[in-house]
Amino acid sequence: MTAETALSRSRPEPIDPADTARSAATEPTAPLERFRAGGVIPAHPLALTDDGRLDERRQRALTRYYLEAGSIGVAVAVHTTQFAVHEPGRGLLDPLLTLAAETAREYHSDGELPVLVAGLSGPTEQAVAEARLAADLGYHLCLLAPHGVGDVDESYLLDRARAVGEVLPVIGFYLQPAVGGRRLSRTFWRSLAELPTTVGIKVAPFDRYATLEVVHGVAESARRSEIALYTGNDDHIVMDLLTSFTGTTSTGRLERLEMVGGLLGQWAVWTQEAVRTLGLARRAKAGEVQPLHELLQLNPALTDANGVLFDAPNSFAGSIAGVHEVLRRQGLLSNMVFLTDAERLSPGQAEEIDRIWRAYPELRDDAFIAEHLDRWLG
């Protein structure tokens, strides 16, 4: 069964990771091949009504915005979505994943499908059940966060990834400790890369040394060429995209590894400009001088803006709320309603958003959103 067949039905057959890999080998526009080639994948926020229910109209509008802005896909039920969606009593995970998959089908043209990534959470049994749900809905890949598992060792996380990989191809996730992640060793990343159903890693420790540990771990794996590295370091986007990382293989040979794209909460806002940023990075790495100069000017502005949106001075307490506030100002969201009271703007964060709004208009895509918003909400 091909990925195209899977996404053409409302409740398709579960996707076998081996089938997905075979499809990608023969169909250049298959979702797994698109993922490996790289691109922009926004971490999808959650739109709620004033009384806390899923706002289907605005949730669809967000998905349409991301795909029309040039993203290759979306990642749903991830940190930016709010991990609380994984709590069984809320009953949100199924309708949320369903809505994104249905909306993505609107963009099935010329045999090219948006890449659908489902975030998974919790112990092995929960993560496998969530993977089965996502596969039934036509998702192509899963982003496996070390969230909701408690104080377990790395061997447990590897066994968990192995079990999930029997259902969907796995993107590993180095989630920073400030928002629920943990430190993981180079050995862990090498072992994860060795699993035949691991297809990528979201590198998001917000730490240069930890980022390099992932690179070195993947370089030591015999499957290094099959692992797509995506930056999740919202504080270092431009330089991650520009850098050619050097790792040493298990035989001592030096290997170059690249970040082929980004799977980012920062790219849940100003997404059209994010697509442009990745395009500039590709041109700069191909040797063009002007894109490199432009990116070097963009780098501090984007880092400053991200520090405000993600509330870095307060240990990222307002990171989800900061993203929501931008989308609210642009008309994509109508409120600042979240699943828990912990999600809110920190004192002074709104004023800081005012500052970066004035300082960096070049980061925003206001005109693009204004032109299409009514249609996306229709």
For β-strands 141-144 and 244-248, DSSP reports them as unpaired
Contact by Cβ (8 Å): 225, 193: no
Domain assignment of residue 194, yes or no: yes
Domain assignment of residue 35, yes or no: yes
Residue 191 falls inside a structural domain: yes
- Can you give the C-alpha Rg of the chain in angstroms? 19
The count of other CB atoms within 10 Å of the CB of residue 290 is 10
Percent of the chain with pLDDT over 90: 86
Residue that has been written with the tokens 């919790």 in this structure:
122
Whether 203 maps to a domain, the answer reads yes
Confidence (pLDDT) at 378: 94
- Is 249 a domain residue? yes
In angstroms, the CA 49 to CA 57 distance is: 10
Q: Is residue 98 part of a domain?
A: yes
- What pTM, to 2 d.p., does this model score? 0.92
Write down how long the chain is.
378
3-state secondary structure the chain: CCHHHHHCCCCCCCCCHHHHHHHHHHCCCCHHHHHHHCCEEEECCCCECCCCCECHHHHHHHHHHHHHCCCCEEEECCHHHCHHHHCHHHCCHHHHHHHHHHHHHHHCECCECCEEEEEECCCHHHHHHHHHHHHHCCCCEEEECCCCCCCCCHHHHHHHHHHHHCCCCEEEEEECHHHCCCCCCHHHHHHHHHCCCEEEEEEECCCHHHHHHHHHHHHCCCCHHHCEEEECCCCCHHHHHHCEEEEECCCCCEEEEEEEEEEECHHHCCHHHHHHHHHHHHHHHCCCHHHHHHHHHHHHHHHHHHHHHCCHHHCCCCHHHHHHHHHHHCCCCCCCCCCCCCCCCCCCHHHHHHHHHHHCHHHCCHHHHHHHHHHHHC
- Per the domain annotation, does 134 fall within a domain? yes
Distance between CA atoms of residues 187 and 237, nearest Å: 25
SS3 167: coil
Q: Quick check: 77 and 36 in contact, CB under 8 A? A: no
pLDDT reported for residue 1: 28
Question: Which CATH number is 17's domain given?
Answer: 3.20.20.70
Reduce the DSSP state of residue 171 to 3 states and report it. strand
pLDDT at 12: 36
CA–CA separation, 174 vs 226, rounded Å? Answer: 18
- Residue 176 main-chain phi, psi, to 5 deg: -65, 145
User: Can you give the pLDDT at residue 6?
Assistant: 31
User: Total domain count for the chain?
Assistant: 1
Specify if 366 maps to a domain.
no
Quote the distance between the C-alpha of residue 168 and its chain's center: 16
Residue with tokens 């298990």: 250
Range of the domain at 108: 3-269
Distance CA 278, CA 231 (A): 11
- Distance CA(266)–CA(268), nearest Å, equals 5
CB 74 within 8 A of CB 67: yes
pLDDT at 110: 64
The segments of the chain whose pLDDT lies below 70 read 1-29, 109-111
In this structure, are strands 228-231 and 254-264 parallel, antiparallel, or unpaired? parallel
Residue pair 1/19 in contact (Cβ under 8 Å)? The answer is yes
The answer to whether 157 touches 188, Cβ cutoff 8 Å, is yes
What separation in angstroms does the CA of 360 have from each of 82, 149, 344? Answer: 27, 39, 23
What pLDDT does residue 169 have? 98
pLDDT of residue 109: 66
- What CA–CA distance (Å, rounded) separates 20 from 31? 8
pLDDT at 27: 43
